Structure 1
Amino acid sequence: MAPRFESSYSCVATSLLLSPDLMHVVVAYQHGIQDDVRPFLEFAIVSSPDAIDSAYVSVVNQCHAMLMPWLATFGPSRLGKLFECIPAMHHLVTCVAICSVDHPLLVHCLRQQPQSSANLLGMAAYANNTRACEYLIAHNHTRGALDAMDWAAINGNLDMIVQLRHAPRNHSGAIQQCLDKGLQGAALNGHRPIVQYLLDNGLAPITSLHHPKLFNVCASRGHLAMIQYMFALGCSFTTDAMDAAATNGHLDVVQWMHASKRRDQGCTYVALAGACHNGHLEMVTFLHRHRAHDCCQRPYIAQSALEIAAANGHLDIVMYLHVHRFSDGALYAMDAAAEHGHLHVLQWLHLHRSEGFTSRAVDLAAKHNHLDVVRWL
């Protein structure tokens, strides 16, 4: 029988060897990558970009998904070893903290490496994290200041823009300006006060607003106040802008543009076709009543408005076009409705129209598994 002290010694040794805390102390003096750190090696070659983009944000999101369970197991005290083994993880974990609005984790990371050269300010602005932006400026982390100004403008965060603009001069002269990306991004998102602030304070060139497609996209998104401001600054629009606004159902924009247009600034048949496709009855009514320039003149090769409405199941528009005799050339309306399975439209057309349907209607309905339509036909 073994002496009792040997049995006790064996138990103590086993406990020591199985203790995660003591094991971390032991391996701290060993070279190599430890098992818990090894999964993060895929991020070893990731560098912090001068300008935050979707590719980098995707990497940060991947890191976040791996990091949260790891932190729950090992705790923040283990981050020092992670950063030592894989230096790139410092800026990634810091960006995770910024994007997840985890201020304690952000502070912990920057205390680990106070002199980080990563573009953290740009990430804070991208994530619209005003508190992180304040903290980074206060601790002289101003790489990416110009990128931050752009993202603050794109996100419509005027407080952050003012904060960046009035940061101490010894931080970075780049904070005093903004690029085309910021001004155009603010305009595209309808942030009129931001655009006006940037221009009024000389933080961006007015020429950035004169990009050919900028007005069109703003109109397509329904940013009425924005396009009115741009128009007052001398930006002009073409038929593409009004067509896009009509297609997306922005009636207030179309009404304003119709009242403000010159002869070459009306809309085309695309406006009516788009409104019919997307089910905007009020828009169809407005275009018809006001005979917006050229919208009634369907190109020979184009599908009729009634066919478009029928294909998309918008019976209210089909009925309106029929009542107002705005449905010439609708030979294939029933075929279109059958192809897309709109039985209620088919039934109405059968009762109120004389064109009928072709032999393709059954084939098209069957091809798309619209069995109720096949049975009815």
Structure 2
Amino acid sequence: MPSLQALFLHNNLLYGQISPFHCNSLQYIDFSHNRLYGQIPPSVFKLEQLRALMLSSNDKLTGNISSVICELKFLEILDLSNNGFSGFIPQCLGNFSDGLLVLHLGANNLHGNIPSIYSEENSLRYLNFNGNQLKGVIPPSIINCVNLEFLDLGNNMIDDTFPSFLETLPQLEVVVLRSNKLHGSLKGPTVKDSFSKLQIFDLSNNSLSGPLPTEYFNNFKAMMSVDEDMDYMRTNNLSTSYVYSVTLAWKGLEIEFSQFQIALTTLDLSCNKFTGKIPESLGKLKSLIQLNLSHNSLICYIQPSLGNLTNLESLDLTSNLIAGRIPPQLFNTFENGSYEGNLGLCGFPLQAKCNKGEGKQQPPSNFKKEDSMFEEGFGWKAVAMGYGCGFVFGVSIGYVCI
């Protein structure tokens, strides 16, 4: 078939090695979700018209990712995720093509550094290196990816401060940097309307410190209204659609969402070293489905404004230094598992009862409540049972709540 342009064989039970390709007209190859093994045949890198190469979730595809792949100048989608590829990520992948939209190399055995150079005027929208062994820092040249919507560098060994330069990327909707070695404080925005489109912000399991980033919360405009769009997050201007996937901690499990709706709004800052109060401004983020601030050193009371988060399905404030009475607005929504490990907390649903006058709080916020709308529709699987922070710390501190 010398004129064959597309070969879509995904989600079958194909077994064996990938045979060499002799059809130079091929533009789309999708062998994802099969049982293929071995290495990518060199003939793939000679398909000069190739626009999409999707080999994800075969588990046993191995070998290095050859830098020869950067000769595919028309490539728009490269998805080699959930396999056994090893070695270094070719540095040329950051700037070999202005047309590359999707680069997904997550869940492999890759090591070394993240590609350090991203060319100006590139088209990258989805960048996912989650679940490898990458070290070093997050390259500042990512600011050249002005169309970037999705960034997932979680579950690596990146040793860096929070990459505040991401503020300059106007289209960002998902930032996942969980389970790395990030440290230092979040100093707040330096760019007007930074992170205004964010729907998922996950910095959990790092060593970040200082107060919670209230100034960022005030910029999370997309989280301030309930989004009724139940479509899956995807690239929209391709001849073949590509649906985004993400790995998050969800209600105590680490979950891989093979597809997720735009409405999956999540804020996870758990398992860090954040201090200070829970800011009242969190009550503005009405579209939140999940809020996790557990395993930090947060103090004082639970803000009554959290009762405005009527869309919330999962709340985790465990293992902090929070005290006082649990706000009545949260009584009927979350069980005691959301509050455990805060010895100063009292009131229903906890067994500890409040003494008269104990746990006085600020007057309830006057943020207007809004009804929530949420429908199921996530493709997901549990990738790790249980959820822990990987470290334990103790704090003895005196404080005054005003």
For normalisation by structure 2, the TM-score amounts to 0.35
What TM-score does the superposition give when structure 1 sets the normalisation length? 0.37
- Name the structure where helix makes up a greater proportion of residues: 1
Bigger relative contact order (CA 8 A; separation at least 6): 2
More strand as a share of residues: 2
